[in-house]
Amino acid sequence: MNRRSTKFLVLAGLTTAALFTPQGGARAQTPSTVHPMPQSLINEHAEDFEKLEILSKRPGKVGEIARKAVALFKRHEATEKDYIMPPLTLLPSLADGQVTPDMAWAIAMTDKVRANRELIFQQHTEMTDILSELVVAAEAAHDQDAKEFAEAAAGDSLNDVEILEPMVLVLGDYLKMKLAALPK
């Protein structure tokens, strides 16, 4: 089993442990955890930040650029946690054909994504720019780990722009349509 698989299993186990009491009941959620991001994205972000923090401690341009990247990534992650990613937690239920009035909370978030598309795109552009700088610095320093991280992170950012964020918008439109059709 590789390091990533082991880490995933540990994170999944910790997540399960955090959500349930020893007696088998669900824990009460605090307001900040009422609408969390999907766990897979939480795990992915934690791994990316861990790698970026390691790179930020390196000497020279790689470390310098990685430190700048940490700040950009943290700012964008706050946006994602606030309103971009939580609606995605509804996808499994929606895929099963389940739409209930208690899902309406996601509409305000999806509307905010639509209203802030330019800001979100700008954040991704800034992250891609810094990751491109990191690739160049990594190549100059013969730092294959830094180069691979930067290329993968740029791919993740592109995935957000091309797939995840548009899916949030589609999800919001779908919820509006389905919730309007529910019996009152």
| Residue 1 domain flag | no
What percent of the chain has pLDDT above 70? 82
| Residue 2 domain flag | no
Question: Which pLDDT belongs to residue 1?
Answer: 43
Distance CA 150, CA 155 (A): 9
| Residue 137 domain flag | yes
Nearest 5°: the CA angle 139, 141, 146 is 65
* CA dist 119 → 24, 40, 115, 134, 147 (Å): 42, 24, 9, 23, 27
**Per-residue confidence band for 22, with pLDDT thresholds at 50, 70 and 90:** very low
27-36, 42-51, 69-78, 154-163: least confidently modelled range:
27-36
DSSP 8-state code for residue 57 = T
- When pLDDT is averaged across residues 99-120 and rounded to a whole number, the result is 96
Please give the tally of structural domains in the chain.
Answer: 1
Name the residue among 159, 180, 164, 165 with its Cα closest to residue 114.
Answer: 165
| Residue 19 domain flag | no
Query: 26 pLDDT exceeds 80?
Result: no
Question: Which pLDDT belongs to residue 24?
Answer: 35
Question: Which pLDDT belongs to residue 34?
Answer: 77
For residue 4, the Cα-to-chain-centroid distance in whole angstroms is: 17
Residue numbers of the domain that contains 128: 61-184
Distance CA 179, CA 184 (A): 10
Distance CA 47, CA 109 (A): 25
- When pLDDT is averaged across residues 81-86 and rounded to a whole number, the result is 95
SS3 content of the chain, % helix, strand, coil (to 5): 80, 0, 15
Mean pLDDT, the chain, as a whole number? 85
- When pLDDT is averaged across residues 82-97 and rounded to a whole number, the result is 95
| Residue 99 domain flag | yes
Other C-beta atoms closer than 10 Å to the C-beta of 72 total 18
**Per-residue confidence band for 76, with pLDDT thresholds at 50, 70 and 90:** very high
pTM score of the predicted model = 0.77
Reduced to 3 states, what is the DSSP secondary structure of residue 26? strand
Question: Which pLDDT belongs to residue 10?
Answer: 36
* CA dist 20 → 36, 61, 116, 119 (Å): 15, 44, 35, 37
| Residue 145 domain flag | yes
Give the pair of three-digit tokens for residue 134.
């990191």
Other C-beta atoms closer than 10 Å to the C-beta of 51 total 18
| Residue 23 domain flag | no
| Residue 32 domain flag | no
24-38, 56-70, 111-125, 127-141: least confidently modelled range:
24-38
2-6, 53-57, 81-85, 127-131: least confidently modelled range:
2-6
